Amino acid sequence: MIYTPTLPEIVEAVYEKSGLIEGEDEDIDLVIADKASGLYFAAFSLGTIASPTVGSLVYEMVKEDWAYTCDIFAVLAGIYTVVYLVLNVLPDLKKERENKEKMEEKILESKII
């Protein structure tokens, strides 16, 4: 499992979204870790089952041209990357910049007083 190191980041994101503090309640920690792990590996397993089927369907649709099939998946990956960037990364960067500006304003106000 090459992507397992992302699992702690998933758990951390759940804590951040829910407003909980990790380590306060051991039972909640265990539930969150179990659910995150289960969801993560369910999605991973679904991908390992679906990808050969989808790949072979595309291969058959393009009249068994392997290079063209790879081109199709490369274009789809590029489109997904752009959509992910626009809908996920850029709003996070904007929010982070706004939080940084607010923090700087608070620091400047506290020095003046």
Q: For residues 93-101, give the mean pLDDT.
A: 90
Q: What is the DSSP letter of 6?
A: G
Residue with tokens 């369907």: 57
pLDDT at residue number 112: 60
Mean pLDDT of the chain: 87
If one compares 67 and 13, the residue with the highest pLDDT of the two is 67
Question: How much helix, strand and coil, in percent to the nearest 5, is found in the chain?
Answer: 85, 0, 15
pLDDT at residue number 113: 54
Q: Can you tell me the distance from the alpha carbon of 83 to that of 89, in angstroms, rounded to the nearest whole number?
A: 10
Task: Tally DSSP H helices, then E strands, for the chain.
Answer: 4, 0
- 19 confidence band (pLDDT: 50, 70, 90): confident
DSSP H or E segment with residue 80: helix 66-84
Q: Can you tell me the distance from the alpha carbon of 61 to that of 68, in angstroms, rounded to the nearest whole number?
A: 10
Using one digit for the tens of pLDDT, what is the confidence trace for 29-75?
A: 899 889 888 988 898 899 999 999 999 999 999 988 899 999 999 99
User: Above 80 in pLDDT, residue 76?
Assistant: yes
